[in-house]
């Protein structure tokens, strides 16, 4: 249960969810759709136009129509705004429990699927896009280091609620190391994804790798590069410095998947 009791007033509860690490603020229909599909427990919700949301669900996601929170209070966009909340275009906001995350269990996942590590990502948009791709590619988890919480409202909105679909967590550094707890002693090979690495051959990626991506401006830390078992790059035309972080995650995960990773399409 949240450390601070959740107010019964939905707008107060939604405001609390923005800051409470035990809660997740879900903004918009598409994020709510994924949250419901992947088992989120919705605690409070507010909606600007229930008929519109039902129509959207019937058209785009009939599987969740019966799971939409019943008796959700109808609140005008103006009241939401007055309460310091911005109504999304689809007019639905919700609060869910933040699922407990067992990083060791995610790292121990025996499937031949990688874990993505984002080292100190700066952009919440990038984090959200990476979560969306990681969920679609069906990898074992996505971990971040640094100041940003991958479950913050912006990352959840941009990740369209797919944080609920796989283990996603921010992990603390191990002592003076820039690497997180758990990664130093786990049995997964660490692969640096770096512009200076060897051109990647997706079929040759080790099956349960930790694929580490660097921060937007400076790339991977020297410590991570030194500890990595291999360093791979995505080929680029001469003159281009790098791909965007989320683009490189998408390109590599889909190269892996299409090459047959996790029994993906290319392996069939
Ligand atoms: C915007 S880039 C960082 C650019 C930084 N100046 C550098 O050269 O590493 C952010 C991250 O995306 C990944 N990345 C971008 N383009 C890449 C490429 N062509 N090959 C491998 N990784 C790439 C790397 O993990 C990189 O640390």
* Cα–Cα distance for residue pair 32/161, rounded to 1 Å: 6
pLDDT band at 68; cut points 50, 70, 90: confident
Encode pLDDT of 19-61 as tens digits.
899 999 999 999 999 999 999 999 999 999 999 999 999 999 9
CA of 262 to the centre of ligand 1 (A): 24
Q: Which of 19, 79, 87 is nearest to 53 (CA)?
A: 87
CA of 246 to the centre of ligand 1 (A): 10
Closest protein CA for atom 5 of ligand 1: 219
Give the mean pLDDT of 198-204: 96
Ligand 1 pocket, 118 CB below 6 A? no
CA dihedral (117, 123, 126, 130) positive or negative: positive
pLDDT band at 183; cut points 50, 70, 90: confident
Q: Which atom of ligand 1 is nearest to the CA of 119?
A: 27
Give the mean pLDDT of 247-263: 92
The token pair at 29 is 């229909």
Whole-model pTM above 0.85?
A: yes
- The residues pairing with 210 across neighbouring beta strands, listed in sequence order, are 115, 190
Q: Check whether 98 has a pLDDT greater than 80.
A: yes
């Amino acid at each position: 249960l949240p450390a601070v009791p959740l107010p019964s007033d939905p707008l107060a509860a939604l405001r609390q969810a923005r800051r409470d690490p035990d809660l997740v603020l879900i903004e918009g229909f598409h994020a709510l759709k994924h949250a419901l599909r992947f088992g989120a427990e919705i605690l409070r919700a507010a909606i600007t136009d229930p008929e519109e949301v039902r129509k959207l669900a019937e058209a785009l996601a009939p599987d969740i129509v019966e799971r939409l929170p019943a008796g959700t209070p109808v609140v005008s966009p103006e009241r939401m705004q007055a309460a310091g909340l911005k109504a999304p275009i689809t007019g639905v906001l919700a609060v869910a429990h933040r699922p407990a995350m067992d990083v060791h269990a995610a790292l121990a996942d025996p499937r031949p699927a990688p874990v993505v590590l984002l080292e100190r990502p700066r952009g919440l948009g990038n984090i959200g896009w990476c979560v969306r791709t990681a969920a679609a590619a069906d990898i074992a988890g996505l971990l971040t280091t640094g100041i940003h919480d991958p479950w913050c409202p912006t990352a959840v909105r941009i990740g369209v609620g797919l944080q609920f679909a796989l283990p996603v967590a921010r992990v603390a550094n191990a002592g003076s190391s820039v690497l997180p707890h758990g990664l130093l002693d786990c049995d997964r090979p660490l692969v640096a994804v770096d512009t200076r690495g060897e051109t990647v051959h997706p079929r040759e990626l080790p099956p349960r790798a930790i694929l580490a991506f660097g921060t937007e401006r400076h790339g991977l830390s020297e410590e991570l590069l030194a500890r990595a078992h291999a360093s791979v790059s995505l080929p680029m035309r001469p003159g281009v410095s790098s791909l965007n972080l989320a683009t490189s995650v998408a390109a590599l995960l889909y190269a892996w998947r299409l090459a047959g990773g996790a029994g993906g399409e290319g392996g069939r």
